[in-house]
Structure 1
Amino acid sequence: MDKAIIFGIYDFVSFHASQTLLNQGIEVVGISFEDKDEIPFYEEKRLEVGRNANFIEQSFSKWEKARELENSKTVLVFSIYDLYMLNKEAHFLKNRVMKPIVNYIEKNNKNLEIVCLLPIQELGSNSERQLGSFLDQVSRIAESMHVFYLPAIYGTWQPETFLFQQSILSKIQEVGIQKGDREWTEDILFVCDAVETIFDMVESEKPGKYVLQSGKKDYWSECAAYLQIDESFFTKDGSEPRKFENQMVTVPVRHITPIANSITQQVEHVRRLYQGNL
């Protein structure tokens, strides 16, 4: 790929996707749906990527007006996963957002690689069927499309909707923790491992639908135990592992960063980020 356009650039997984591609020397156009004063830690995030000459930031309205024709191989990244975990996916489903995106893909389909990141818990749900309208439109006009279903994701810049981030914050701010109804506890991946696997597969695997996994039994519980999260939050319903449709290909990430290293990164990042507010 020569260029990437990432929507929701300052959201959790999207932001790590941009960092990964920038580190590979790829031009990244980051599209934001929100005003910068509505983005948590905007200045800190902007500092991490803004100094890279290959990074261009645009608001959705500005991108919508420009929508230049692409003359080189470009990857479009949509992290519905991030929007879902922030309870903002309905914004993406609005016609005023989807229509210009679909029109853009239609005009540039020969030079575009579409990458959609979805939450694994939405497979077969009403929300997933609503998103299916968008995915169906894109799949009909796109030359190439990879769809990845993700389990829980952790790492630096994880939103406070996640139990892991709450747990870390509770140790420095003395606040309680509460597992949200969208928290997935059957499996988990370190964000850098997930993003690395996603883009490796975009380059090497044929278009299709993939479910990313750790390949480790009870891995979410193992990571949660490292953070000393109370076992009452663990899933213990005795249910069988989820089975996926035939067209779904389950893929373990190609590298798993040791728990001690990955969680330590997140803990230290939270402490640096919040120490000015303590």
Structure 2
Amino acid sequence: MKDADPRAFLRWEVIQRTMAVTHAEYIPHELRFLRRRRDWAHRWAPALQEDRFGHPLPYWRHPTSSGNLIHHAYHCASFEEAMGRRVDDFGTIVEFGGGYGGMCRLIHRLGFRGRYVIFDLPAFSALQRFFLAGIGLAVSDHPIAGVASGVVECLSDLGLLSEVCQTDDRPSRLFLATWSLSETPLPLRERLQPCWPRFDGFLIAYQSVFQGIDNVAFFTTMRDTLGGGTWREHRMTHMRNDNRYLFGLRGDC
């Protein structure tokens, strides 16, 4: 790894095994879903244009994109269809576990101009800063008071994340976590609980069981504790095993 070219990190085996879906069997379903949308031509098709940076593997049925980017777009489009709210309309997005930064890149492509915060382990935060800076987004490794539009804050300190959650005053806030919160130890999830009431929207993807933890019960309790608003839950029947979405909009969001 130390001799590998970081500009082609998306070809590294460790990245493809943990952060990239490449040619997974469920991507054709997700691409069809996106292509059937009325806004495919003017919104999703341009947003799915891959960057050269990172040297991603093209997806054979849509060579200008990648399986990973299509997968990210499917999550966003599924949320929008279920909830009637565009992801790029939120004032603040906090992404818990951001991979290499691909979801953040997509949401900015869709038109997001608010405050974007990614919380992750230090090594992943460094990778996110590397990738996002490489495609032209401004990045920071700490919160920025009165943060300017377009600066992505890549944080690894839970105290800093809590500070962001408690002090951010933008009018609408989305909590985004795809197979990240559901893979987090319960003690850390408990430390995050004071942050959740600060969010108006939730886009969560998870597996029903992870290392003996009943995630269905966990997210049901989370939803019931937050209460109010509109919630949608459904299984991703096009994927193997029991993977699910939890979407939520609270208050006047």
State the TM-score bracket (shorter-chain normalisation): 0.3 to 0.5
More helix by share: 1
Return the index of the structure with the highest Cα Rg: 1
- TM-score using structure 1 length: 0.41
TM-score, length-scaled by structure 2: 0.44
